[in-house]
């Protein structure tokens, strides 16, 4: 069986090298006689796995010592509640709504306090990032929240918002480890791993230590308190052990590739190939303002729903899968995460050129 080119937005493509390593170790990890799936999370073998994963992630992102790295469950969506429960000391937070996930986070936070929507791009179907240089930041805001890369709509913050001294909280699920970041600019940077790092079921939270306190919202469940997990080194309960093991392998793969500077170069190359074609195509067109285009998620349309459906169907037959756009926007979307090889994007563009030649009226 041959591998397809998988353009899924998540769960998404993983490095083939990592999958092969995991397959080789499925029945016997490192001479233990067990699969990691069967291993106690309290064992020395697993302790080495999770500690090495954290160390490699710290190396990749240059995470300062005063930040904790937490491997948690519940996906990014559980953080929509966990963040206000732990951080809303004054009961106020400011949200910049640039897509469906930021909107859901804002709606969830509204259950726990005053969540201000201080900027939005919903007026143009989230096709751009609003100007965030001089926002009406609430004096009492405990934090300012963004979704840094918008998976569904294909937009990306190229500059972080001016939070006027307030703590920045960012969901980076779909751009996690795609380029270097300055962790010190954030109070919390988190993401579900199923888009760019590992299998579904793990969320990684990188949080500044001064934000981890026992002073949480009354009624906050034990499992939703950052301090509980930080004090237990992400082992308060059974963690998503196998998922963390795969994440650790992806961290090793990224280091082997040359780190985040190198992976950014590769990602820029891939995105340029696809965006350059969309800019010159007579059939396909991108849907995002050029200055705000994501390197990871590229939505495009033909302008005709039937033609879009035909393209998705023929692409699938040709080995290009999961190109259908999100149900809320339609059209197509190519997610070209770290593990998508350059040749996959080249092959997709070649297929799009062929489809255009055959279907352009």
What are the backbone angles phi and psi of residue 355, rounded to the nearest 5°? -65, -40
Q: Is the dihedral of CA 351, 311, 323, 155 positive or negative?
A: positive
Is 304 noted as a catalytic residue in this protein?
A: no
CA–CA dist 160, 172 (Å, integer): 12
Which single residue is written with the structure tokens 């349309």?
A: 301
Query: Could you say which of 68, 101, 156, 270 is catalytic?
Result: 101
Is 269 noted as a catalytic residue in this protein?
A: no
CA–CA dist 71, 33 (Å, integer): 25
Is 171 noted as a catalytic residue in this protein?
A: yes
Determine contact, residues 234/50, Cβ cutoff 8 Å: yes
Identify the DSSP state of 234. T
Determine contact, residues 174/10, Cβ cutoff 8 Å: yes
Which single residue is written with the structure tokens 């994440």?
A: 247
Query: Could you say which of 68, 156, 195, 252 is catalytic?
Result: 195
CA–CA dist 239, 244 (Å, integer): 8
The b-or-e profile of 311-332 (16+ CB within 10 A means b, else e) is bbeebeebebbbbbbbeebebb
Query: Could you say which of 94, 142, 171, 308 is catalytic?
Result: 171
Exposed, middle or buried, 65 (CB in 10 Å: 0-12/13-18/19+)?
exposed
Which of 281, 62, 64 has its CA nearest to residue 177?
Answer: 62
* Neighbour tally for 237: CB within 10 Å: 12
CA–CA dist 234, 87 (Å, integer): 19
The residues, any chain, with a CB within 8 Å of residue 166's CB and separated by 6 or more, are: 94, 137, 141, 142, 143, 144
Which of 212, 178, 173 has its CA nearest to residue 193?
Answer: 173
Tokens representing residue 22 in the block: 């995991």
CA–CA dist 265, 81 (Å, integer): 35
Determine contact, residues 153/125, Cβ cutoff 8 Å: yes
Active site residues: 101, 171, 195
């Amino acid at each position: 069986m041959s591998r397809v080119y998988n353009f899924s937005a998540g769960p998404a493509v993983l490095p083939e090298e990592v999958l092969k390593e995991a397959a080789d170790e499925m029945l016997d990890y490192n001479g233990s006689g067990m699969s990691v799936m069967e291993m106690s999370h309290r064992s020395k073998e697993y302790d080495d796995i999770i500690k090495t994963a954290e160390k490699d992630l710290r190396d990749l992102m240059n995470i300062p010592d005063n930040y904790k790295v937490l491997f948690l469950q519940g996906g990014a969506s559980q953080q929509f509640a966990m963040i206000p429960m732990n951080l809303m000391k004054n009961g106020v937070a400011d949200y910049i709504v640039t897509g469906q996930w930021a909107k859901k986070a804002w709606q969830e936070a509204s259950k726990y306090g005053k969540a201000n929507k201080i900027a939005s791009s919903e007026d143009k179907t989230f096709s751009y990032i609003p100007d965030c240089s001089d926002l009406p930041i609430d004096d009492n805001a405990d934090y300012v929240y963004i979704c840094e890369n918008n998976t569904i709509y294909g937009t990306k913050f190229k500059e972080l918002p001016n939070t006027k001294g307030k703590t920045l909280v960012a969901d980076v699920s779909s751009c996690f480890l795609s380029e270097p970041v300055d962790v010190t600019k954030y109070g919390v940077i988190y993401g579900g791993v199923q888009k760019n790092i590992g299998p579904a079921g793990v969320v990684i939270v990188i949080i500044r230590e001064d934000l981890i306190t026992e002073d949480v919202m009354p009624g906050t469940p034990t499992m939703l308190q950052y301090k509980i997990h930080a004090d237990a080194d992400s082992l308060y309960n059974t963690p998503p052990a196998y998922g963390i093991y795969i994440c650790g392998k992806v961290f090793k793969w990224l280091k082997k590739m040359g780190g985040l500077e190198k992976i950014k170069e590769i990602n820029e190359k891939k995105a340029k190939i696809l965006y350059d074609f969309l800019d010159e195509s007579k059939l396909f067109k991108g849907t995002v303002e050029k200055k705000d285009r994501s390197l990871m998620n590229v939505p495009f349309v033909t302008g005709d729903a039937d033609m879009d459906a035909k393209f998705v169907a023929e692409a699938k037959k040709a080995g290009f899968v999961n190109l259908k756009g999100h149900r809320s926007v339609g059209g197509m979307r190519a997610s070209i995460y770290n593990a998508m090889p350059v040749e996959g994007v080249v092959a997709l563009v070649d297929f799009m050129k062929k489809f255009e030649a055959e279907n352009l009226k």
